Homo-oligomer: A and B are copies of this chain.
Amino acid sequence: MTISPTSQKSARRSIWRDPRKLVDSVARSSPARLALVVFALVALTFTLLLSLPLSAADGQATPLHDSLFTAFSAVTVTGLVTVNTAEHWSFFGQVVILLGIQVGGLGIVTMASLLARAVTRQLGVRSKLLAQQGISTGKLGEVGSLLRTVVLTTLAVELALAVLLVPSFIVADKSWTAGLWHGIFYAVSSFNNAGFVSHPDGLNGFADNLWILVPIMVGVFIGSLGFPVFMVLMATKFEFRKWTVHTKLTLLVTTILLIAGAVIWAIFEWSNSSTIGDMDVGEKVFHAVFASTMMRSGGFSIVDPSASSPVTLLATDALMFAGGGSASTAGGIKVTTIAVLFLAILAEVRGDSDVRTFGRTITEGALRVAISVLFLAATLILVATGLLMAVSREPLDRILFEVISAFATCGLSVGLSEELPPFGKYVLSALMFAGRIGPISLAAALSIRQRRQLYRFPNESPIIG
């Protein structure tokens, strides 16, 4: 679906008459830049709101490094905090945070879905991915149409979660108003994979309350799959043959990582008495599954990560880095990026000339985007780790954990964020922003600009390895 120069020109003539066409046009001509600018503006707006004295519980203006960090953490649905959400912020401040999560989550999913559609067209999927799920494929108004679908779906799922969570919190907190507030907060926070908690000690007080933990896990899991997968599952009524390659790969890799994470977590925490060592087998298994669900981007915890074993921290680093599904509120380099890289290696090992999966060929374009995302991620993490090491005396494992958690917008924390000097907080804020917007817009910017070259050089590759 390339756009001919004439249709571009006529589009340009009419955009000033219809704002929807303007958005369409910018989204089409430079979607990555649009995503960046919009997201930065939204994040700064929430920074301003949280800087107001009204937002803080003590009525004092919050310092910029804390309000900016919190706003960026909310809008990027990360969940890292430098101040206790329930104690530092007023009710108004907490509503602002919840709104930031909701706006950020919706924005990410919409933008990522739009960009992903543009990208997948280039990569060879064409309009299959979203178009067949009943979203308008007309050239005008498709942003609005997609946004409407995303908003309605999101609100429906969040409502369902709230229906489960509100009664649970009313019982647990023994208060109608508190139950209502916390139920809504956790419904939004979990489906958006935000990891923000509205109790002073988070979910620690509910570590054995399955009526609360299970809906939160389900919300995080559904949210981490991503809108494209979610829509395909709805539209195909779980009929495997009709699934897109994207859906199959996302579900397969998610399942593998979920099981692997739970097994590794269970092995290395099984007899750690600071975490689950003293619990019975059933509780241990539940804790392992809960932790594994949260590692790839949920960010909720009922066990303090800093109490877990060094190997657990390392494995968590790897799983946070992997992240969740594309065009979801989960972060990381995304499970399909992992899948494409792995499939390319498998093809090499087998000696196949094509990279194949589920009866489809994965293009070289997808492979190059995957490498780019991986390299960008590794470079950002390396540089941020170096910067934080230069300004603090913390050991590498703590810094690396917090840095990867910020980049992957995961939100699990060893408590470093609140201890860092302002410069360190800005570094993590920038990393959350880059980690949220980076892979999406990089992938979009890269794939959309693909152009044909008029001549070819002869082949000559260096020796590798």
A138 lies within 8 A of chain B by Cβ: no
State whether A459 and B361 are in contact (beta carbons under 8 Å apart), knowing that A348-B368, A354-B453, A396-B396 are contacts in the complex: yes
Contact status of A345 and B364, CB under 8 A, knowing A351-B451, A389-B310, A462-B336:
no
CB <8 Å contact, B386 and A311: yes
A interface secondary structure, majority = helix
Cβ of A344 within 8 Å of any chain B Cβ, yes or no, is: yes
Complex CA–CA separation, A318 to B385 (angstroms): 12
Residue of B nearest to A464 (CB): B369
Any B CB within 8 A of the CB of A244: yes
B120 & A334 in contact (Cβ 8 Å cutoff) = no
Taking a contact as CB atoms closer than 8 A, the residue among B340, B396, B458, B465 that contacts A462 in the complex is B340
Q: In the complex the two chains form, is A367's CB within 8 Å of B369's CB?
A: no
Give Cα A375 to B346, complex, Å.
11
Quick check: is A246 within 8 A (CB to CB) of the other chain?
A: yes
Are A361 and B465 in touch, CB under 8 angstroms? Answer: no
Is the CB–CB distance between A125 and B461 below 8 Å?
A: yes
- Is the beta-carbon distance between A339 and B440 smaller than 8 angstroms? no
Q: How many copies does the complex hold?
A: 2
* Chain B neighbourhood of A348, CB < 8 A: 368-369, 372, 446-447
> Smallest Cβ distance from A28 to chain B, in angstroms?
16
A314 within 8 A of B: yes
Decide if A340 touches B389 in the complex (CB within 8 Å).
Answer: no
- Bound: A443/B462 CA distance, A: 12
For A340, list chain B residues within 8 Å (CB). Answer: 461-462, 464
Distance between Cα atoms of A300 and B459 in the complex (Å): 38
Contact indicator A461/B120 (Cβ below 8 Å): yes
The answer to whether A245 and B449 touch (CB under 8 A), given A345-B371, A348-B369, A396-B314, is no
Interface membership of A294, Cβ < 8 A: no
Q: Are B462 and A246 in contact (CB under 8 A)?
A: yes
> CA A128 – CA B345 in complex, angstroms?
27
Alpha-carbon separation in the docked complex, A370 to B465 (Å): 7
| Neighbouring B residues of A459 by C-beta, 8 Å | 123-125, 360-363
Question: Contact residues of A with B, CB < 8 Å?
Answer: 116, 119-120, 123-125, 128-129, 226, 228, 244-246, 249-250, 268, 309-311, 314-315, 318, 326-327, 333-334, 336-337, 339-342, 344-345, 347-356, 359-373, 375-376, 382, 385-386, 389-390, 395-397, 400, 438-440, 442-443, 445-447, 449-453, 456-465
A-B contact pairs, 14 of them (CB 8 A): A124-B459, A311-B390, A314-B389, A326-B465, A337-B464, A337-B465, A341-B375, A354-B457, A361-B458, A365-B461, A369-B465, A370-B464, A397-B397, A443-B464
